[in-house]
Amino acid sequence: MTDDTPFLEIRNLTVEMKGDAGMIRVLDDVSLSIRRGTTMGIVGESGCGKSMTALAIMRLLPPGFQITSGQILLDGEDITKASEARMRQLRGNDISMIFQEPMTSLNPVYTVGEQIAEAVRQHQGLDTAKAEQRAIEMLKAVQIPGAEARLGSYPHEFSGGMRQRVMIAMALACQPRLIVADEPTTALDVTVQAQIFALMRELQEETGTAIMLITHDLGAVAELADDVAVFYAGWRIEHGPASAILRHPAHPYTSGLMSCTPRLRLGAAASGQGPALLEIEGMVPQLGKMPSGCRFAPRCTLADAHCRSTVPVDTEVEPGHAAMCWKTKAEVLA
Amino acid sequence: MDTYQKVTATVKRLIEAFLLVMAVVVFNFFLIQMAPGDPVEVIVGEMGGASEELIAQMRAQYGLDRPVLEQLGVYVGKVLTGDLGYSYYFNTPVTQLLLQRLPATVLLVMSALVVAVVVGTLAGTFSARKPDGMGSHVVTVLSLVGYSAPVFWIGMMLLILFASIWPIFPVSGMYSMRRPDGIGYYLDILHHLVLPAVTLATIYIAFYSRLARTSMIEVLGQDYIRTARAKGLPEGKVVWKHGLRNGLIPIVTMVGLQFGQLFAGAVLVEAVFNWPGLGRLAYDSILRRDYTTLLGILLFSAILVMIANALTDIAYRWIDPRMRKVKA
């Protein structure tokens, strides 16, 4: 169920935070697009702006944060200009979000059935009995055993993995066209992670929903994503098809990130090199104290004076695959 | 947890409660024994003096000449059979006297409690929605004033205001001189209830609005509130459905703990507004050295506080499913 018209298109999005000394940019001129029925993986270190992008799409930025320029087009409608009432129609109905903390993201004092059913009642005007029926269907869809009996259970009666399934059931209850999953498996066991990913893939095939998968796990990206966007310090520094980026990253940061992930070093393993775990030297620059020129330059082994003085432009290295880097052509060719 | 365990747990609690009540009885008995003076002195004072023989005869009549431990034994024995003794002042059995006064106090205390919790929670939640807003600051300042002002002072200020400046509420008693019939009778009581209840509630309104504000600010920052917003629920539902039920948990805890204090506050308020309840009776009984009545009142309030705590436990379980026992 994929087609090539973008369902979600973010154009030049900038998000700023009120700081002690004026506005601080947390997202700077970010653009990306997600096609219908596909999965976009958003990758980057903590604090690079991944979650801010997700919350900006939901228009649920924390107090003090605001979208200062750019557009977020959802099926052609610019939701940065939508009223709060319109956003409430979209949230939970057209766009759903799965949060990274299943242990705290469910309300402890209501049954899971109620928490799933209330979104259905809110958006689709179903009566209590029908909404409950839908909640049972959703619990079955996310493979919770004994769905009818579990409807009246409270979140504390579920394990972490089960709670995340409930979150997914909740997010899918109104058959949204876009799911924003913010590190949905970070808090879970590795085996549970695999189950959750399998479930998301299966549900996507059935419903044709687009997924924005935010993660720092490149394994998850390799498994689920059709396209990838890599974030660094508020910039989207590389984007393109997942296969292209995972095989030949065009940005030195992306290739650095991949050499930090042991099981993805296929090239290295094949050529018989040792499985040494690498790391990217240095630290992510602090918000508000960004270097001039390329923000990755201080940590980049390829950086020269030009990189340090001039902000790089988005350069296409192959059709649909581009990186914000002055050195990228040279690296790919090399 | 099976039925047997449930029954055992309940029985255990009842025994605990009973022992606690008996401990309260004994403690109060000695407390009053330690106070100077006895009822006979007061009666003699009111009679304008009496001979030594008459005083001794009266002491013997009331059993005040016997050893303290014997008096205690007699009293505890009577209490166990439900007999709280005889009020020498009213010449009526204490139990009858207390039951007669109880409804007025329960009405006053419960009205004040409901007003305090409802108004306090609403104000606190309102100010938690925008903690830096103008409305929030107004609530904070008002609750600080309400919390700092002594109960009797608020009572006197309201008395002055509504007795002379703006006489729309009666300032004394529970009924009008001419008691209306039918529904008018209850409306008349409600009319009289306004000032004492407001006076008693003021400090608790202030207290609960501060508590609710803190509690709701914390709750509204929780992940599940963000989840509720992400579902597209209207802000009202987010705050009042998903927020408040969680925010109520510390409030219910405090209600249970403060019930006894509220009772103590009723003594002052009933004295100021001449409300015919247990508090007023307690105040008068102290002045009259009416020991049996005073002991009865203390016993009653201990039992009421225990009932309140049991109700708090039930409310707790109703609000927070995590407090219920996991189904086997």
Q: pLDDT for A167-176, tens place per residue?
A: 988 988 888 9
According to the model, what pLDDT value does residue B327 have? 43
Closest B-chain CA to A54: B230
Is pLDDT larger for residue A280 or for residue B269?
A: B269
- Identify the band that residue A248 occupies on the pLDDT scale cut at 50, 70 and 90: confident
Residues 6+ apart with CB under 8 A from B32: B291, B294, B295
Please tell me the least confidently modeled range out of A193-197, B110-114, B202-206, B265-269: A193-197
A234/A134 same-domain check: no
B163/B233 same-domain check: yes
Is pLDDT larger for residue A155 or for residue B163?
A: A155
Q: CA-based angle B295:B296:B302, to the nearest 5?
A: 90
A163/A201 same-domain check: no
Count of domains forming chain A: 2
According to the model, what pLDDT value does residue A329 have? 61
B132/B76 same-domain check: no
According to the model, what pLDDT value does residue B88 have? 78
Residue type, A27: L
- Identify the band that residue B289 occupies on the pLDDT scale cut at 50, 70 and 90: confident
Q: Which CA distances in Å does B293 have to A58, B72, B281?
A: 66, 15, 8
Residue A179, phi then psi, degrees to nearest 5: -115, 125
Is pLDDT of A223 > 70? yes
Q: Give contacts of A89 with chain B, Cβ < 8 Å.
A: 232
| Structural domain includes residue A1 | no
Is pLDDT larger for residue A235 or for residue B322?
A: A235
Is pLDDT of A280 > 80? no
Shortest distance between the Cα of A253 and any Cα of chain B, in A, equals 32
A141/A280 same-domain check: no
According to the model, what pLDDT value does residue B328 have? 36
- Domain boundary among the residues B94, B120, B145 is at B94
According to the model, what pLDDT value does residue B82 have? 82
- Identify the band that residue A1 occupies on the pLDDT scale cut at 50, 70 and 90: very low
| Structural domain includes residue B206 | yes
B132-142 residue pLDDT tens? 888 888 888 88
Mean per-residue pLDDT for B262-285? 88
A77/A183 same-domain check: yes
The answer to whether the pTM exceeds 0.90 is no
Q: Give contacts of B226 with chain A, Cβ < 8 Å.
A: 60, 99, 105
Shortest distance between the Cα of B238 and any Cα of chain A, in A, equals 11
B316/B229 same-domain check: yes
A284-303 residue pLDDT tens? 777 777 788 888 888 888 88
For every residue of B228-271, DSSP letters joined together read HHHTT--HHHIIIIIIHHHHHHHHHHHHHHHHHHHHHHHHHHHH
Q: State what percent of residues in chain A have pLDDT above 90.
A: 41
- Domain boundary among the residues B94, B128, B151 is at B94
Q: Answer yes or no: are the C-beta atoms of A52 and A15 closer than 8 Å.
A: yes
B49/B146 same-domain check: no
Which residue, B318, B305, B299, is CA-closest to B84? B299
According to the model, what pLDDT value does residue B169 have? 82
Q: Answer yes or no: are the C-beta atoms of B301 and B260 closer than 8 Å.
A: yes
B146/B282 same-domain check: yes
Mean per-residue pLDDT for B14-41? 85
| Structural domain includes residue B12 | yes
| Structural domain includes residue B100 | no
According to the model, what pLDDT value does residue A226 have? 93
User: What is the predicted ipTM?
Assistant: 0.84
Radius of gyration of chain A (CA): 21
Which own/partner pairs from B225-229 qualify as long-range (CB within 8 Å, at least 24 positions apart)?
B226/A60, B226/A99, B226/A105, B227/A99, B227/A105, B227/A106, B227/A107, B227/A167, B227/A170, B228/A107, B229/A60, B229/A91
A219/A84 same-domain check: yes
Mean model confidence pLDDT for chain B: 86
- Domain boundary among the residues B61, B94, B127 is at B94
Is pLDDT larger for residue A314 or for residue B151?
A: A314
Looking at chain A, which runs of residues are DSSP E strands? 6-19, 22-35, 39-43, 65-74, 77-78, 95-98, 178-182, 210-215, 227-232, 235-241, 314-318, 321-324
User: What is the distance between the alpha carbons of residues A302 and B179, in angstroms, rounded to a whole number?
Assistant: 96
B63/B200 same-domain check: no
Residue among A118, A156, A157 whose CB faces B231 most closely = A118
A40/A169 same-domain check: no
Residue among B230, B233, B245 whose CB faces A97 most closely = B230
According to the model, what pLDDT value does residue A277 have? 60
User: What is the distance between the alpha carbons of residues A313 and A306, in angstroms, rounded to a whole number?
Assistant: 12
- Identify the band that residue A263 occupies on the pLDDT scale cut at 50, 70 and 90: low
Sheet holding A6-19, edge to edge: A22-35, A6-19, A65-74, A77-78
Q: Does B233 touch chain A (CB under 8 A)?
A: yes
In total, the C-beta contacts within 8 angstroms joining chain A to chain B are 72
Please tell me the least confidently modeled range out of A215-229, A304-318, B46-60: B46-60
User: What is the distance between the alpha carbons of residues B203 and A4, in angstroms, rounded to a whole number?
Assistant: 65
The tally of CA atoms less than 13 A away on the side-chain side of residue A259 is 15
B165/B65 same-domain check: no
According to the model, what pLDDT value does residue B326 have? 47
Q: Does B223 touch chain A (CB under 8 A)?
A: yes
The DSSP 8-state label assigned to residue A272 in this structure reads T
Q: Give contacts of A51 with chain B, Cβ < 8 Å.
A: none
- Domain boundary among the residues A149, A175, A201 is at A175
- Domain boundary among the residues A159, A175, A191 is at A175
Say whether B223 and A105 touch across the interface (CB within 8 A).
yes
Is pLDDT of A49 > 50? yes
Reading the block at residue B13, the tokens are 């609690």
B183-195 residue pLDDT tens? 888 888 888 898 8
Residue A56 belongs to a domain with what CATH number?
Answer: 3.40.50.300
According to the model, what pLDDT value does residue A3 have? 57
Which residue, A284, A165, A162, A266, is CA-closest to A222? A266
A182/A141 same-domain check: no
Count of domains forming chain B: 2
A191/A319 same-domain check: yes
B258/B149 same-domain check: yes
B58/B157 same-domain check: no
| Structural domain includes residue B204 | yes
| Structural domain includes residue B41 | yes
According to the model, what pLDDT value does residue B229 have? 94
| Structural domain includes residue A181 | yes
Mean model confidence pLDDT for chain A: 85
Is pLDDT larger for residue B301 or for residue B216?
A: B216
| Structural domain includes residue B293 | no
**Domain range holding A204?**
6-94+176-333
**Domain range holding B41?**
3-94
- Domain boundary among the residues A175, A203, A226 is at A175
A68/A216 same-domain check: yes
Residue whose structure tokens are 């969680």: B246
CB atoms within 10 A of CB A270: 8
Residue among A91, A104, A111 whose CB faces B230 most closely = A91
Closest A-chain CA to B227: A105
A87-139 residue pLDDT tens? 999 999 999 999 888 889 999 999 999 999 999 999 998 899 999 999 999 89
Is pLDDT of B84 > 90? no
Is pLDDT of A332 > 60? no
SS3 of residue A312 by DSSP: coil
According to the model, what pLDDT value does residue A264 have? 46
B194 burial class (0-12, 13-18, 19+ CB within 10 angstroms)?
A: middle
Is pLDDT larger for residue A155 or for residue B2?
A: A155
A57/A199 same-domain check: yes
Say whether B231 and A170 touch across the interface (CB within 8 A).
yes
B155/B113 same-domain check: yes
A83/A26 same-domain check: yes
Is pLDDT of A275 > 60? no
Residue among A105, A108, A122 whose CB faces B246 most closely = A108
B88/B117 same-domain check: no
Residue among A91, A93, A104 whose CB faces B222 most closely = A104
Residue whose structure tokens are 């930025």: A61
Residue among B232, B322, B326 whose CB faces A92 most closely = B232
B16/B132 same-domain check: no
Which residue, A280, A285, A301, A293, is CA-closest to A324? A293
| Structural domain includes residue B102 | no
The DSSP 8-state label assigned to residue A241 in this structure reads E
For every residue of A110-135, DSSP letters joined together read S-HHHHHHHHHHHHH---HHHHHHHH
| Residue of B218, B224, B235 best to disrupt the A interface, most CBs of A under 10 A | B224
According to the model, what pLDDT value does residue A269 have? 47
Closest B-chain CA to A98: B227
Q: Give contacts of B318 with chain A, Cβ < 8 Å.
A: none
| Structural domain includes residue B301 | no
Q: State what percent of residues in chain B have pLDDT above 70.
A: 98
B127-164 residue pLDDT tens? 998 888 888 888 888 888 888 888 778 888 888 888 78
